[in-house]
Amino acid sequence: MKIEFGGGLEQLFDNKQTLELHFDEPEVTIQTVIEKLAQICNELRSNVCLFLQDGLVRPGILVLINDADWELLDKEDTVVEDKDTILFNSTLHGG
């Protein structure tokens, strides 16, 4: 599964614009992906609070699944599989 970062979020992930994630299950919810990313964030000693708030993606971070707004789908509960691309794009930066 391809994870992309934008809007400065890459700074939390060792300045990597993209990450490859693989799960044992063929399908997982986005929330599972988010928890995995939070774990990576912690391992890198990045400030996970810039990504998560109360266990959910921080308001102001846009999530696009295969380039579509996750608000069209089921947000955290959207089921994704290995071929999908997920973009986390923060709007919380200067204009």
- Interface residues with other proteins (CB under 8 A) are 6-8, 11, 58-60, 62, 64, 67-69, 71-73, 87, 89-95
User: Taking the complex as a whole, how short is the minimal distance between the CB of residue 38 and other proteins, in angstroms?
Assistant: 18
**Cα 82 from Cα 23, distance rounded (Å):** 8
Question: Exposed, middle or buried by CB within 10 Å (0-12, 13-18, 19+), for 1?
Answer: middle
Which residue, 16 or 58, has its beta carbon nearer to other proteins?
58
User: Taking the complex as a whole, how short is the minimal distance between the CB of residue 3 and other proteins, in angstroms?
Assistant: 16
User: Taking the complex as a whole, how short is the minimal distance between the CB of residue 55 and other proteins, in angstroms?
Assistant: 14
Quote the tokens at residue 4.
Answer: 């992309």
